[in-house]
Structure formats: C-alpha cells, structure tokens
Amino acid sequence: MTKTLTTLVALAFTLGLSAQTKQPAPAPKPSAIAGSKMDQDRACIKSMVGIYKVSFNFAETFSPDTGYKFHKPYAEQAIEYVTLIEDSPNKIVLQHLLIINDSTIIKHWKQDWIYENKVLYNFYKDNEWIKNTITAEQAKGTWTQKVYQVDDSPRYESFGTWVHVDGKHFWEGVNDSPLPRREFTKRSDYNVMKRHSRMEILADGWVLDQNNEKIIRNNGVDKLLCWERGIEKFTKGNYDATPAIKYWEREKNYWADVRAVWDEVYAGTADLKLKAKVDGSRLYESLFELGEKSCTGKTYVAGSAKAEIRKIIDAFMKTA
C-alpha cells in the first residue's frame, strides 16, 4: 500500500466532506415501518443504507479515581456511503465506505446482522477474541450485530432484540471491544472498551448512542478507568456517492473473497489471536495493497487472489 493511502486509512475519520449531488431513493421513515415483527426488524436494519453526513462526538463523563484527568472531548464529521451487500431472510450485511475530499474512497467498517445467531466472538484483549455459544432460548427473537474492521477481521459482536414501540424503533447491545480508532495509537492506559450501544432509526437517518466503559483488564480482572458518552449521528443528505459506487463495483469481488477466507478461518478456529504487525505492516495494509494490485486497471476475477489472501491472513494468526 502506498504511504498516502495508508495515511488516509489511519486518518479516515478526520478528513473532508464530499460535494453535493443527487442521492438514491430514501429508505423508509420510522412512521412507514410496519408489518410483522420480523418485517419491522428487517426494515430498520435495511433503512441504514444510504448516504450520510456522520458526526462523531465523545466525551469522558465519570471516573471512580478522583485523581483521573479527563481527556479532551472528541468531535469530527465525515461523509459515509452505506450499501447493502447481502440480503437473505436471516442475514443482512451492510458495507460502509468513507468518501474523502470528493473522490478518495476508503473501505470502512462492515456490519453483519444475523437473526437468532448462537455463536459470537467476544473480544478479550490484545487482539484476542474468544468464541462463545449462547443457548437457543437466549438467541430467540434476537439479532446479532457483528462489526468488522476495514480488513474484515473481527472487532466486536453483541445480540439484542429490535424494539418497536410508540413510533420508536431501536436495538440495544453490550459488548467488549478493542480501543476505538480515535484512541488506538494514542493511548495505552486502558485496553478494553465495554460498549453499551443503542441504535435508533430516525426520520432523517439513524443514531448510534453509546455509554462506554474504558477498562483495564489484567489477568481476567477488570478495573474501570472511566465512563464515556458517545453519539454517532448519521444524517441523510444530498451528497455524491458516485466515487464510492465505482470503487465498490471495482473491488467488491475481491472483498467477497476476503470475507470467504475469513469465514473459513472462523469455521475452523476456536479462539482467535492476531499479530499486530507482520514484516512491519498491519493486516489492513497488506490486504489493501493486494486489493489495489488485484483490481486496478482490470476486472477482478472471483477467486483469483484467494490463495494470496489466505496466505496473508494466516501470517497474522497466532498459534499459541
């Protein structure tokens, strides 16, 4: 990967907005979401598709340590295109793409929604996830949200029930996760973020409302450093997603192969441990570089880079 693209990925949240133009047809508003409980659940998840101006606002609010010095609040904004890449009765997959300075596109996070899912990877710490199974009774009526990093490696997963009441439509989940990207390279005073998340569908988009615990985890013992309040507001606007659409059309088959390899890894792996770097590069840098090489100036043939993808991912797997 070029130095420029690596920098753009690392700073994706802090870069500029795209120009305005016509956007796709709007998703249904909350007042229009109707039908059976399952129909409403699926309509809410799919309503997250679209083009958004995203605002990120986070502030630390409380610490049990009276001597703790709160960090400066964080506020940024960006333009994000969310596209539907899989839609089956019990699984919906949404891919996020950042639009930077009108024309530069960064493949961003991905969210899988799976109905009555019983297998989750729970983040422990230090690039380690532990496979956990819940009962059919626990999973009944719930949707698991699986959030993946830009290279489609795991980030965090949790399950909960979509609620439709008094014209409101929301889902809540709790999970442990790695440090957010905004702090990943800047802080080492905690190593786990416990996210208490509420996703609510609004008339003009949706909001991810968070109360997060920043935790120091050592030998299985947790110590609370502080709480944080976070609001990520996705507001639909008249923004140009053409560069993102073209990017995804060019590279979607490559990333489908990346996901297929990860599915093989998840199926054959209990607990998952990943190295931070291999030969001086991070996993996302290696997979993005291969994607550039495989897709630039030619039509990517499905399966053509799968062996190389597997080789890269295997190199980052810790075996002990």
| Whether 269 contacts 131, CB under 8 Å | yes
Closest C-alpha among 13, 76, 64, 1 to residue 225? 64
pLDDT, residue 49, reads 96
DSSP state of 294: H
Q: What are phi and psi of 29, to 5 degrees?
A: -80, 160
DSSP state of 25: P
Element of type H or E holding 262: helix 242-268
pLDDT, residue 244, reads 94
pLDDT, residue 88, reads 96
| Whether 28 contacts 44, CB under 8 Å | no
Beta bridge partners of 233: 55, 207
10-residue mean pLDDT profile of the chain (320 residues): values are 49 43 53 83 97 96 97 94 96 95 87 97 95 96 97 97 96 97 93 98 96 96 98 94 93 97 92 94 96 91 96 90
pLDDT, residue 15, reads 43
Element of type H or E holding 139: helix 136-139
Decide: residue 151, CB within 10 A, 0-12 exposed, 13-18 middle, 19+ buried: buried
Residue length, the chain? Answer: 320
pLDDT, residue 146, reads 98
